[in-house]
Structure 1
Amino acid sequence: MSREQVGDLAELPIALRPDAPGLFLALAPMDGVTDGSYREVLTAMFGGRSGISVCVSEFVRVLRQPVTEAVFLRHCPELARGGSTRAGVPVFVQLLGSDPKWMAEAGARAAALGAPGVDLNFGCPAKTVNNSDGGATLLKQPCRVEQVTRAVRAAVPASVPVTVKVRVGWDDAAPMVDIAMAAEQGGATWLTIHGRTRTQLYKPPVDWKAIGRAREAVSMPVVANGDLFSLDALRECGQVSGCSAFMIGRGAMGRPELFVQARGCFERASLSRADMQQLLLRYVAQLLADGAGAHATLGRLKQWLRMGGLLRADMAQWFDAIKRLQTLAEAKATLLASQ
């Protein structure tokens, strides 16, 4: 895709913070999905002018022991390159845990390794995570969100943002304001809110109004997340929540062009079938170049197609065609043969 197709992003600044001039559009962390290879491919789109402000890594699980450098590099290989993708997009390291001491130590270690920001995951709805006192389970006690945030903020240099990601509550959105205030009192630089409770998982409806109540209750920036699948959804979320900064997750699987589209730099309704096909093949090549085995690469390809198929008919068709295939070579051949 040529620069002429994209337009000049310099006219529409990419905000690196939600309170900076321009439009802040972050790529959401999704465990098992948004690995370093995926981030590399998405941020390289349109000649490196992807429209993505910031990426956040898959979560680093913090237990009652130090996190090794090898673990950090596995989850965030960009740390070996100054904390950014090759296209220059910063990648925050996300931590998931509940012990203030060990979370603080991990935050300090991430910053020392060059993380441009540290994100704290208090929203993961996975049962295995919640049963081990991590992720969204802390939403039941907002004081614990404050305690962990405060400990990490104290351990990380002031120049490095410490951000927090939450859901609107555990089983209802009533405590949303308390959760937001706890994150702010703990010293969070900004707060990202997924507009669902933990018990909803990813079922509808998304509650952008609850995000708006939190935004009104705090002075720090609030980033809205959840069901941002189109320009219309971004506009409606902004109107309902009052937010002007957004994080896109599942929407990027089927509409990776949404970031530049929101900046007025992509006039077509969506990537063409051929463009999407080439993007998927670049992802396969990137995974292999990054050391993934053929079987793991096939699994990641199927996963992207499955999720993207919720938004694009061609991706749903490709998923149906390869979901039972056993080899990567067969899957690639099937994709290449599809016109």
Structure 2
Amino acid sequence: MTRAAECDAASEGVEGQRRDAASAAAARWRAVWATRATVATRPDEAGLYLALAPMDGVTDAVYRELMTGLYDGRSGISVCVSEFVRVTRDAVPAAVLRREVPELERGGRTAAGVPVFVQLLGGDPEPVAQTARTAASLGALGVDLNFGCPAKTVNNHDGGATLLKYPRRIEAIVGRARALVPAHVPVTMKMRVGWDSCAGIEEVARAAEAGGAAWITVHARTRAQLYQPPVVWHALALARAAVKVPVVANGDLRELGDLAACAAQSECEAFMIGRGAMARPELFAQIRGQVDERMSEAALAELLIRYHAMLLASGVVASRALARVKQWLRMAADMDAGLAPLFDAIKVLPAWELVAPALSRGCRGSC
């Protein structure tokens, strides 16, 4: 056989393997989609796993309570992950963990019964692991380790996505946390596809698996992209093929059809939704087949007004509560241009007494 023929045969073999892998992934997705009404609390359980993503400055206990309480507690959310708790040279004390994740006082769940994982961010294995052990002793149902935060301040202080450049350090951090956390409590990790490219995603995923991560969640952007397009769902297939533990897909899941598109490219069957849920609070329930249509304008306005009231009741000062409502709509408008007119209508209003009526007018699409 000539060298050219050998190359052609090898190429055909590789292409055949790719087709086989894609066919197997499609079959897995069809099987999972058929059970989407079942809320899996782990990506390796029967049913569909749909986690609410951690977003710093957004997904605090009030937001988690609001979102998991939708539709009389049948929100469709599998698990919430807290905003990150920063760990530096010393372990974080129990009092701080209780303050940041108050669900620890009621068995690590929201009032609707949805598990809340405590997310930790830090680059030193020992204090991160000691904090993870404390969280588990307080009742955390899972500990998630943040290797994806793109914030410059965080990255410049040895945290978040900067660790993606050092897979062995990720293995050490995950491994030490796994060693100190009871076996029944999952230790998971969240990452991006890479620092400035997807090169090396397999090595990072393998490092997390070697350290004992129960599953890996991957945001389909590099750190350099921040939140700019495009998402690279296809890169997640590289991580999916590199490890045996589940890989959870995250990034720009905005509409019902996005799950199938992401599954086809990423070969993942479990998902985490963040900013998309701010534009589509009903998305989890819609995916489950519990609701058929988009949340009405009146219902969205009512939700935001209730959110403001819950923030005030939790002790958030009035100016901050107003800012949080505006932040929600700003992020929602980034995901759905139809919400931009509503955000534009309220963004310069100085007081809640002016914002609430504007919300109640239901300005989605036109004000």
TM-score (structure 2 length as normaliser): 0.87
User: Aligned partners of 2:361 and 2:48: how far apart in 1?
Assistant: 39
Please report how far the alpha carbon of residue 68 of structure 1 lies from its aligned counterpart in structure 2 after TM superposition. Answer: 2.1
Contact 1:83 1:92 in 2 (8 A): yes
User: Aligned partners of 2:269 and 2:117: how far apart in 1?
Assistant: 20
Residue among 333, 339, 344 paired with 1:320: 344
User: Aligned partners of 1:111 and 1:209: how far apart in 2?
Assistant: 34
Contact 1:273 1:314 in 2 (8 A): no
Contact 1:60 1:75 in 2 (8 A): yes
Please report how far the alpha carbon of residue 317 of structure 1 lies from its aligned counterpart in structure 2 after TM superposition. Answer: 2.3
Q: For each residue in 1:110-145, what CA deviation from the matched residue of structure 2 results, as whole angstroms up to 9, or x when unmatched?
A: 111111000000000000000001000000011111
Residue among 268, 281, 286 paired with 2:305: 281
Contact 2:75 2:284 in 1 (8 A): yes
Are residues 1:244 and 2:269 paired? yes
Aligned to 2:109: 84
- Write the mapping of 1:118-267 to structure 2, written as runs, cut at 5 A: 118-267=143-292
Q: For each residue in 1:27-70, what CA deviation from the matched residue of structure 2 results, as whole angstroms up to 9, or x when unmatched?
A: 00000111111111110001100000000000000011121223
User: Aligned partners of 2:332 and 2:259: how far apart in 1?
Assistant: 18
CA 1:11/1:315 → structure 2, altered by over 3 Å: closer, same or farther? Answer: closer
Find runs of 4+ consecutive structure 1 residues off by over 6 angstroms.
Answer: none
User: Aligned partners of 1:89 and 1:68: how far apart in 2?
Assistant: 24
Residue among 52, 55, 65 paired with 1:40: 65
Alignment RMSD (CA, Å) = 1.4
SS in 1 for 2:334: coil
Please report how far the alpha carbon of residue 265 of structure 1 lies from its aligned counterpart in structure 2 after TM superposition. Answer: 1.8
Aligned to 1:290: 314
Greater alpha carbon shift after TM alignment, 209-218 vs 305-314: 305-314
Are residues 1:303 and 2:336 paired? no
- Write the mapping of 1:66-85 to structure 2, written as runs, cut at 5 A: 66-85=91-110
CA 1:241/1:312 → structure 2, altered by over 3 Å: closer, same or farther? Answer: closer
SS in 2 for 1:173: coil
Aligned residues: 329
CA 1:240/1:338 → structure 2, altered by over 3 Å: closer, same or farther? Answer: closer
Please report how far the alpha carbon of residue 86 of structure 1 lies from its aligned counterpart in structure 2 after TM superposition. Answer: 0.5
User: Aligned partners of 1:312 and 1:232: how far apart in 2?
Assistant: 15
Are residues 1:336 and 2:360 paired? yes
CA radius of gyration, larger in: 2
Contact 2:186 2:214 in 1 (8 A): yes
Please report how far the alpha carbon of residue 310 of structure 1 lies from its aligned counterpart in structure 2 after TM superposition. Answer: 2.7
Residue 92 of structure 1 aligns with an amino acid whose one-letter code is F
User: Aligned partners of 2:194 and 2:36: how far apart in 1?
Assistant: 38
SS in 2 for 1:194: strand
Please report how far the alpha carbon of residue 203 of structure 1 lies from its aligned counterpart in structure 2 after TM superposition. Answer: 1.1
Q: For each residue in 1:243-300, what CA deviation from the matched residue of structure 2 results, as whole angstroms up to 9, or x when unmatched?
A: 11000001000011111111122111x1110110111111111111111111110111
Please report how far the alpha carbon of residue 337 of structure 1 lies from its aligned counterpart in structure 2 after TM superposition. Answer: 4.5
Residue 62 of structure 1 aligns with an amino acid whose one-letter code is V
Unaligned runs of 5+ residues in structure 1 are: 1-9
User: Aligned partners of 1:144 and 1:13: how far apart in 2?
Assistant: 36
